[in-house]
Structure 1
Amino acid sequence: MDDIVAGLPPALVLTPSIRPVPAATVRAPSAGSRRGSRRGRYRSVVNCPTLWRSVRITLVEERRSYLGQFSPLGVAGRDPIPMTVEADCPFCEIVRRETPDTREVYRDEHVVAFFPVEPATLGHTLVVPRDHIPDVWSLDEEAATRLAHITLRLSHAVKSATEPEGLNIIQSNGVVATQTVPHLHVHLVPRWSGDGMGPIWPSKTSYPEAQKDDVWQRLRSECRKVGGK
């Protein structure tokens, strides 16, 4: 029987739902078999355990391939386009793996992390959602939770890899806030004394107390609308 199996062409051991096993090698499922039973159909290979093992292994692989069509990570070797993309966005190109020289460090079904072309310090990493989300005001709470979770995990990775003295986590929105790419991103910037970053805050401000009180009251009012006390 093994000699017979060895002589079968490859098509005969693929998933029967795609390339059917010839009827001569299979008994029809019993009337009471579950669902009309794929299981019954494939376990009915007549006196041929080697052929059954081949079919079973192929069924598993075909099932993985089929489910991969619906997985955010896709089938091995392929990476699906995110749900929303922007044609001219450089970060969307990186998400789609269209820039092979990118120094990518992390990827999952929701987030990609990579070095910028000109890092502020060694280890400077950008964390971006795979979907094209322009800024924080376009970010929903579920996506924000995923982004924050991965940012926290990657901050530990940056610390372990670079052993910095400190770390800046920076997220900018709008050109005036130095957002140069309109695709939401978080900067993880490891810091050392005397590095090229310099201070990121003004040394001193002199806003009148009345202005600070006015903004304070307006902001407190808006915060109560989102559940604050």
Structure 2
Amino acid sequence: MTAYDPDNVFARILRNELPAARIYEDDDVLAFMDAMPQGDGHALVIPKMPSRNLLDADPETVSKLFRAAQKIAVAARAAFGADGVFIGQYNEAVSGQTVYHLHVHIVPRFKDVDLRRHAEGGFADPQVLADHAARIRAELDKNEA
């Protein structure tokens, strides 16, 4: 297996070298909007601990990642009034992984609405992503209250 690249795009987001519409952050994870969303509200949750993917991640890192993913999924579903939520995680190129930093996709789903292909629409409008992040944060705030 190839070694972890500390200059991958998600590592750079963690270091604030690249912008992201941030949703949630704690000591272990960061959640932000996918810049090339497959649907409205498409979020990513990543661990702060460097891991190429699930295959090389420490089990404690995975546990913390999926606890946060559940929290974001519940908030995203509510924020967008979705019928369900797709949660996906890819490992290695053959599975569809394109960024080699462990991450979980959270995509609100709606009856009779297909997902867009990941790069099909290119990069989303940053203001739309910021608005979507704010909607999910508002739901997280409700759940914390």
Name the TM-score, length of structure 1 as normaliser. Answer: 0.47
- 1:177 corresponds to which of 81, 87, 95: 95
2:113 paired residue number: 195
2:27 paired residue number: 109
Give the letter aligned to residue 125 of structure 1: A
Q: 2:25 and 2:88 mapped to 1: Cα distance? A: 20
Deviation at 1:194, TM superposition (A): 3.2
Aligned residues: 113
Structure number with greater Rg is 1
Pairing of 1:35-46 with structure 2 (within 5 A): none
Q: Which runs of 4+ in 1 moved over 6 A?
A: none
2:15 paired residue number: 96
1:150 paired residue number: 68
Q: 1:126 and 1:92 mapped to 2: Cα distance? A: 13
Post-superposition Cα deviations, 1:90-137, rounded to whole Å, max 9, x if no partner, equal 00011111113x111111111001111111001000000012200111
Q: 2:5 and 2:25 mapped to 1: Cα distance? A: 19
Deviation at 1:88, TM superposition (A): 2.3
Secondary structure class of the residue paired with 1:147: helix
> Greater helix share, 1 or 2?
1
Give the letter aligned to residue 91 of structure 1: F
Q: 1:197 and 1:93 mapped to 2: Cα distance? A: 27
Give the letter aligned to residue 185 of structure 1: H
Give the letter aligned to residue 14 of structure 2: V
Consecutive unaligned residues in structure 2, runs of 5 or more:
117-145
Post-superposition Cα deviations, 1:129-161, rounded to whole Å, max 9, x if no partner, equal 012200111112211111111111111111121
Give the letter aligned to residue 49 of structure 2: D
Give the letter aligned to residue 65 of structure 2: L
Secondary structure class of the residue paired with 1:138: coil
Name the TM-score, length of structure 2 as normaliser. Answer: 0.73
Deviation at 1:162, TM superposition (A): 0.9
- 2:59 corresponds to which of 141, 148, 154: 141
- Aligned residues: CA RMSD: 1.5
Higher RCO (CA-CA < 8 Å; seq separation 6+): 2
Q: 1:145 and 1:193 mapped to 2: Cα distance? A: 30
Consecutive unaligned residues in structure 1, runs of 5 or more:
1-84, 199-229
